[in-house]
Chain A
């Protein structure tokens, strides 16, 4: 736990409103999920008001301000789709903050766009996957969805559904121990 000079804290608090979420967490825009989490932990260790109980009121107010931005940055960036929406917002203009409700709405919109596929082949294999699901053939559904993903490698919805399906396949597979013969 690094004790930071109160002057530095106050200075950071005055400019933190102008920093984008990557800057708030001191990470590269290419950071992966783990790096985001670690940066959040690191920033929390550094700026939590509990580390500065003896500090004056102004410093604690500044810490609270920093902590709120840190949480906000983490809450947007930790979710893949919210992060995508935020990246678009960053590119499009001069805004560096995104309200969570808006981030969530944008993420939801993206999700519904992606859900059924964006390319003809992606759509085709997704339809096959859906048909498999109706027959409750999860393994076939998983295969088709994986194929769909090869046409749209960045489709987060496909990735998510694949994870779900994997869990389903694992859950429905009868547990057979190596030494057991059924």
Chain B
């Protein structure tokens, strides 16, 4: 039996699973016959866990124990804005976990976000298994292009918990482009406009035959279809409050009803000029008598409510085009991804912006999963013909090897970029760029740093991702300590820090001191996320197996004992995945001047007048202007500043 690898689009609102088999892409339907499944998990009183459409139906009756839009929270810190926003919108309990992580509290149990996502992934896996009639172990899972390393790692963890071998974390727009251009032999520049439930991304790609090169990718992780719903919710709730004197928001049950109604209005407006909301007896008035909500919303009303949101997406498009060195007219085709792009209001605006009618021949809800499936298939396809490799090793020419083999399936080479700049924290609360955003990966870069104080014993290497020169305005990815070098005057110890983003998009950082040859390195692991031990415990505890799947399939694995293969062994977490030099958690204590580092001029041969970092500012133009004094004088201590707190003194830039 052939081994299959599936593609899963793990969406904020809905998820989708697809497979490439016999040269055809199929989107696999769930038992209801739907191609998409709601990304909702509901915990029932009796311990059962519902996932998908059944769970979504539970939102109204049991909003406190029904988790939706969990993708908005995965891989985030508890102190992030997104958490505060989610706490205001969602009825389920979001609490703080270890290392500033997030946990969802359901009755007496705490769940980590990857665990919730794993339940959805498990359901998608079950859907695939029901359709294919055999076990599925391998998958490519997609994420928004603008996801940072923390969010990617957490998604990968979710796959592991769900019992999947995650072949690759693939960017959604890249997947969409692959689904669109695969096997067509195109030579085009494409824009992928991806407005999902919770995120917005735009990517500019160049397709040259079988190569899919991402030229740039930009995004806004705080903008999505949900925000369009919110505008309708606000309108209805505010009007109702003014007319009836009751705030629907104050009643969880009524509010959930309103949220569903708003989502329906949005969907109806895709097909009709107006939509009517009618919720009888939604809430009791001040006099104790029930009040009903009734309101007609036209496309025009909706357009004016959401105009600024649409404009925000075009600011991101401007940025992406600029980074790709193109103008809108040079784009050959525009592909829409995500349910909200069905809105005529968005289609028209996108068409006007790119001066091109967007392609509508691919379903915006399915295109990402399809692209992921194509990519997944290339992993199992190349793995199969082992003899070919052996003959190649023996020195046989490729033509000889391919003559005997059937024509190879069309392939897709993905050349992706890193969406966010990688930075390192230096004295004064700054973050110096090591790898700029939109740099192709895999890539390795290094810079030289010096100690900040005389006789310094150790340095702390702090890694950030983001576009700000102020360290705390970026996402902290992790940190580690490096020590054991000779003691010397400040700046005299030279430390080379090497950043590496591998083909999987995973960040590795190492520090070395040439004089002693000492090296310390770490693979950046989500600092607020789950440790390997925790993941192993979660897998052992197997709470995700309480998921009551509606997919009509016998427990996979049992049915295919007759077909033993190397892949049927359990996907136990590999013990090799523990990282040397990994410091478990972020040190949130006071910043330690004794561990600071400063940037050294790394290429004196170039004889730069200005320091290289200053030069970068000018060239890029997208970084805040260099105002070290101002930034450092701000002595206010916010919660966020406590993390990697700035030095808070009037140190000059720290160049020795």
Task: Check A140 for interface membership: any CB of B closer than 8 A.
Answer: no
Instruction: Please report which residues of chain A, range 68-87, place their CB below 8 angstroms from some CB of chain B when the two chains form the complex.
Output: 68, 71-72, 74-75, 85
- Are the C-beta atoms of B440 and A104 separated by less than 8 Å? no
Q: Which residues of A contact B500 (CB under 8 A)?
A: 68
- Are the C-beta atoms of B388 and A101 separated by less than 8 Å? no
Q: Which residues of B contact A37 (CB under 8 A)?
A: 208
Q: Which of A2, A45, A53 contacts B379 (CB 8 A)?
A: A53
Q: Which of A92, A101, A167 contacts B445 (CB 8 A)?
A: A101
- Are the C-beta atoms of A71 and B608 separated by less than 8 Å? no
Interface string of B614-638 (1 = CB under 8 A from A): 0110111000000000000000000
Residue of B389, B436, B447 with highest tally of chain A CB at under 10 A: B389
- Are the C-beta atoms of B393 and A99 separated by less than 8 Å? no
Q: Which residues of A contact B398 (CB under 8 A)?
A: 2-3
Q: A105-B615, A109-B608 are in contact. Are A49 and B503 (CB under 8 A)?
A: yes
- Are the C-beta atoms of B383 and A102 separated by less than 8 Å? no
Interchain CA distance A9-B503 in the complex, whole Å: 17
- Are the C-beta atoms of B612 and A1 separated by less than 8 Å? no
The smallest beta-carbon distance between B618 and chain A, in angstroms, is 5
The smallest beta-carbon distance between A48 and chain B, in angstroms, is 6
Q: Which of A1, A6, A102 contacts B408 (CB 8 A)?
A: A1
- Are the C-beta atoms of A44 and B443 separated by less than 8 Å? no
Interchain CA distance A74-B440 in the complex, whole Å: 9
Q: A75-B439, A75-B443, A105-B612 are in contact. Are A3 and B388 (CB under 8 A)?
A: yes
Task: Check A4 for interface membership: any CB of B closer than 8 A.
Answer: yes
Task: Check B551 for interface membership: any CB of A closer than 8 A.
Answer: no
The smallest beta-carbon distance between A31 and chain B, in angstroms, is 16
Interchain CA distance A55-B383 in the complex, whole Å: 9
- Are the C-beta atoms of A101 and B413 separated by less than 8 Å? no
Task: Check B587 for interface membership: any CB of A closer than 8 A.
Answer: no
- Are the C-beta atoms of A102 and B386 separated by less than 8 Å? no
Task: Check A176 for interface membership: any CB of B closer than 8 A.
Answer: no
The smallest beta-carbon distance between B405 and chain A, in angstroms, is 11
The smallest beta-carbon distance between B614 and chain A, in angstroms, is 8
Which residue of chain B is the closest to A164 with respect to CB atoms?
B327
Instruction: Please report which residues of chain B, range 586-623, place their CB below 8 angstroms from some CB of chain A when the two chains form the complex.
Output: 602-603, 605-606, 608-610, 612-613, 615-616, 618-620
Q: Which residues of A contact B382 (CB under 8 A)?
A: 50-54
Task: Check A133 for interface membership: any CB of B closer than 8 A.
Answer: no
Which residue of chain A is the closest to B415 with respect to CB atoms?
A44
Task: Check A108 for interface membership: any CB of B closer than 8 A.
Answer: yes
Task: Check B434 for interface membership: any CB of A closer than 8 A.
Answer: yes
The smallest beta-carbon distance between B503 and chain A, in angstroms, is 5
Q: Which of A1, A6, A100 contacts B411 (CB 8 A)?
A: A1
Q: A67-B503, A100-B436, A106-B606 are in contact. Are A55 and B389 (CB under 8 A)?
A: yes
Instruction: Please report which residues of chain A, range 139-161, place their CB below 8 angstroms from some CB of chain B when the two chains form the complex.
Output: none
Task: Check A114 for interface membership: any CB of B closer than 8 A.
Answer: no
- Are the C-beta atoms of B605 and A92 separated by less than 8 Å? yes
Instruction: Please report which residues of chain B, range 244-294, place their CB below 8 angstroms from some CB of chain A when the two chains form the complex.
Output: none
Task: Check B536 for interface membership: any CB of A closer than 8 A.
Answer: no
Q: Which residues of A contact B389 (CB under 8 A)?
A: 3, 52, 54-55
Q: Which of A6, A49, A89 contacts B606 (CB 8 A)?
A: A89
Q: Which residues of A contact B408 (CB under 8 A)?
A: 1
Q: Which residues of A contact B609 (CB under 8 A)?
A: 109
Which residue of chain A is the closest to B395 with respect to CB atoms?
A5
Q: A64-B502, A105-B619 are in contact. Are A45 and B612 (CB under 8 A)?
A: no
Interchain CA distance A108-B620 in the complex, whole Å: 9
Task: Check B48 for interface membership: any CB of A closer than 8 A.
Answer: no
Interchain CA distance A145-B616 in the complex, whole Å: 26
The smallest beta-carbon distance between A6 and chain B, in angstroms, is 5
Task: Check B194 for interface membership: any CB of A closer than 8 A.
Answer: no
Interchain CA distance A109-B14 in the complex, whole Å: 48
- Are the C-beta atoms of A71 and B445 separated by less than 8 Å? no
Q: Which residues of A contact B503 (CB under 8 A)?
A: 48-50, 64, 67
The smallest beta-carbon distance between B363 and chain A, in angstroms, is 27
Q: Which residues of B contact A53 (CB under 8 A)?
A: 379, 382-383
Task: Check B157 for interface membership: any CB of A closer than 8 A.
Answer: no
- Are the C-beta atoms of A72 and B616 separated by less than 8 Å? no
Task: Check B444 for interface membership: any CB of A closer than 8 A.
Answer: yes
Interchain CA distance A73-B436 in the complex, whole Å: 15
- Are the C-beta atoms of B211 and A44 separated by less than 8 Å? yes
Interface string of A24-50 (1 = CB under 8 A from B): 000000000000010011001100111
- Are the C-beta atoms of A72 and B379 separated by less than 8 Å? no
Which residue of chain A is the closest to B435 with respect to CB atoms?
A100
Task: Check B60 for interface membership: any CB of A closer than 8 A.
Answer: no
Interface string of B393-415 (1 = CB under 8 A from A): 11100100100000010010101
Task: Check B446 for interface membership: any CB of A closer than 8 A.
Answer: yes
Classify chain B's interface size.
Answer: 35 or more
Instruction: Please report which residues of chain B, range 360-405, place their CB below 8 angstroms from some CB of chain A when the two chains form the complex.
Output: 378-379, 382-383, 386, 388-389, 392-395, 398, 401
Interface string of A93-135 (1 = CB under 8 A from B): 1010011111011111101100000000000000000000000
Task: Check B433 for interface membership: any CB of A closer than 8 A.
Answer: yes
Which residue of chain A is the closest to B615 with respect to CB atoms?
A105
- Are the C-beta atoms of A3 and B602 separated by less than 8 Å? no
Interchain CA distance A102-B613 in the complex, whole Å: 9
Q: A1-B408, A5-B393 are in contact. Are A68 and B383 (CB under 8 A)?
A: no
The smallest beta-carbon distance between A138 and chain B, in angstroms, is 15
- Are the C-beta atoms of A68 and B444 separated by less than 8 Å? yes
Interchain CA distance A55-B382 in the complex, whole Å: 11
Instruction: Please report which residues of chain B, range 417-439, place their CB below 8 angstroms from some CB of chain A when the two chains form the complex.
Output: 433-436, 439
Task: Check B442 for interface membership: any CB of A closer than 8 A.
Answer: yes
Q: Which residues of A contact B444 (CB under 8 A)?
A: 68, 72
- Are the C-beta atoms of A167 and B392 separated by less than 8 Å? no
Task: Check B213 for interface membership: any CB of A closer than 8 A.
Answer: yes
Q: Which residues of B contact A174 (CB under 8 A)?
A: none
Task: Check A178 for interface membership: any CB of B closer than 8 A.
Answer: no
Which residue of chain A is the closest to B611 with respect to CB atoms?
A105
Q: A54-B383, A71-B441, A105-B608 are in contact. Are A41 and B615 (CB under 8 A)?
A: no
Q: Which residues of A contact B620 (CB under 8 A)?
A: 104
- Are the C-beta atoms of B413 and A48 separated by less than 8 Å? yes
The smallest beta-carbon distance between A137 and chain B, in angstroms, is 21
Interchain CA distance A3-B389 in the complex, whole Å: 7
Interchain CA distance A43-B499 in the complex, whole Å: 22
Interchain CA distance A79-B602 in the complex, whole Å: 21
Q: Which of B213, B388, B602 contacts A99 (CB 8 A)?
A: B602
Q: Which residues of A contact B415 (CB under 8 A)?
A: 40-41, 44
* Chain B residues at the A interface, C-beta cutoff of 8 Å: 208, 210-211, 213, 327, 378-379, 382-383, 386, 388-389, 392-395, 398, 401, 408, 411, 413, 415, 433-436, 439-447, 500, 502-503, 602-603, 605-606, 608-610, 612-613, 615-616, 618-620
Give 17 A-B contacts (CB < 8 Å), ordered by A residue.
A5-B392, A40-B415, A44-B415, A51-B382, A54-B389, A68-B443, A71-B442, A72-B443, A74-B440, A75-B440, A95-B605, A99-B445, A101-B436, A105-B606, A105-B612, A105-B613, A106-B608
Top 6 A-B residue pairs of the complex, sorted by shortest distance between their CB atoms: A108-B619, A105-B615, A105-B612, A3-B392, A102-B603, A41-B211
> Can you name 18 extra interface pairs (CB under 8 A) apart from A37-B208, A105-B616?
A1-B411, A6-B393, A45-B211, A50-B378, A50-B503, A54-B382, A54-B389, A64-B442, A67-B442, A67-B503, A71-B441, A100-B443, A104-B616, A104-B620, A105-B619, A108-B616, A109-B609, A111-B619
